[in-house]
Structure 1
Amino acid sequence: MPDPSTPAAPRLRRPSWRDPRLGIGILLVALSVALGSWAVTNAADTVEVYRTTDALSPGDRIDPVDLEVVRVHVPDIDLYLTPDEPVPDDAVAIRAVGPGELVPGSALGTESQVEVRPISLPMSAALEAYLEKGSRVDLWVALPDPDGVGANPVGPAQLLVEGVEVWDIHEDTSLFAGTDQVQVQVLIDVADLPDVLDALSSGAEITVVPLPGQADS
């Protein structure tokens, strides 16, 4: 006979479907399986595409050596340049592509397809800190005014071209340049080129005005 002074060993109870711990366990297992399946599916959906390291301006040569390959999930891979597609030796950018952006296939072309032309303009050296390759500027012009007075009469300033891209900035080495001036090369759309060239040939003063919210290095 069992000793009445000895406590009875607890009986193991069969888990009940009503036990909330069992439901939580099943839910955690289901979530783990779903998360693993999602990760595998998304990894399979990523593809390799080219991304810029520096800004590309119209007319810049496109060489895969200057690009980096990244794996991304994109809805339409045909829209972008990939390592699977050979890049022609004469390929250039026909529109601007910012630094760190995926390279669209539509940005590739030949020099004959580039619809902008570089024009050099004097600019205040104080503005150089606010601009870099790929920045945007407005061009304002003060045209000569025959009815004005003084040795160099000009009319009121007016907007000449809006939002043109900066291609390069370098030191102004001309004999008449002041120490506070640099030369900025901007890309002018072919359609706007006559107005800009007419302003330059007339001796008008063209002022480069950076758009706000750009580089300040």
Structure 2
Amino acid sequence: MPEPSAPAAARLRRPSWRDPRLGIGILLVAASVALGSWAVTNASDTVEVYRTHEPLSPGDPIEAADLEIVQVHVPDVDLYLTPDQGVPEDAVATRAVGPGELVPGTAVGTESQVEVRPISLPMSAALEAYLEKGSRVDLWVALPDPDGEGVAPVGPTQLLVGAVEVWDVHEDASLFAGADQVQVQVLIEVDDLPEVLDAISADAVITVVPLPGQADS
């Protein structure tokens, strides 16, 4: 008896528009094209914005020569200082701007708009390594005891003002300064100024305490 012949090999069929695999392939190609077009469009959709080299503190002059122009993609360029706008004449920083940050338009103004004032205070030289321009410190105060006799003892220590900005740290050149002491200039909000000046005039003991996580070199 003759052996049954093997089934004929299946013939290749031309894909049909009804084939779901063809539809999925078309969708993938279309998605790839759209994604590539979006990436190219957004990569070229950048603007020039000013960025700082060094930190700016309130009252610091702002000049174009001290800033860097960078190409960035930002949702609202009107929020930042741009070369198209230019740097206003006699412009100063009205609030702190960190190094390498884009310069917000709200941080640029005139001296009359600066709402802080510099105050110089003695500080332990051992803490100088933890501070730099733009660092933040707390000021703690111990007021003299009005009932004390002779060298007045101090009362309980309490927070005077918190998280104030450091403007400068330099050697204390006063005649009464010790070798382990430096002067730190801090920027005090105008509203807090009377309380700080009252403490200074009352010969209170004001201690400068750096906030953690800042410069250590």
TM-score, with normalisation over the residues of structure 2? 0.86
CA distance in 1, matches of 2:179, 2:192: 30
CA distance in 2, matches of 1:19, 1:85: 55
Q: Which moved more, 1:207-216 or 1:27-36?
A: 27-36
Aligned residues: CA RMSD: 2.3
2:184 aligned with 1:184: yes
Summarize the alignment of residues 8-47 of structure 1 with structure 2, pairs less than 5 Å apart: 14=14, 18=19, 26=26, 29-47=29-47
Structure 1 gap segments, 5+ residues each: 1-10
Give me the identity figure in percent. 82
CA distance in 1, matches of 2:171, 2:23: 73
Summarize the alignment of residues 194-205 of structure 1 with structure 2, pairs less than 5 Å apart: 194-205=194-205
Residue 8 of structure 1 is matched in structure 2 by none
CA distance in 2, matches of 1:40, 1:83: 24
2:187 aligned with 1:175: no
**Partner deviation per Cα, 1:144-178 (whole Å, 9 max, x = no partner):** 11213552322111111111100011111111111
Deviation, structure 1 residue 59: 0.3
Structure 2 gap segments, 5+ residues each: 1-10
CA distance in 2, matches of 1:25, 1:177: 80
SS of the counterpart of 1:143?
strand
Deviation, structure 1 residue 27: 5.3
Residue 146 of structure 1 is matched in structure 2 by 146
Q: Which moved more, 1:165-174 or 1:27-36?
A: 27-36
Summarize the alignment of residues 53-202 of structure 1 with structure 2, pairs less than 5 Å apart: 53-149=53-149, 151-202=151-202
CA distance in 2, matches of 1:100, 1:31: 37
CA distance in 2, matches of 1:29, 1:69: 39
* Alpha carbons 2:130, 2:214 under 8 Å: kept: yes
Deviation, structure 1 residue 190: 1.1
Deviation, structure 1 residue 127: 0.9
CA distance in 1, matches of 2:66, 2:55: 11
The count of residues paired between Structure 1 and Structure 2 equals 209
CA distance in 2, matches of 1:70, 1:27: 38
Deviation, structure 1 residue 215: 1.6
* Alpha carbons 2:51, 2:103 under 8 Å: kept: yes
* Alpha carbons 1:148, 1:155 under 8 Å: kept: no
CA distance in 2, matches of 1:194, 1:206: 15
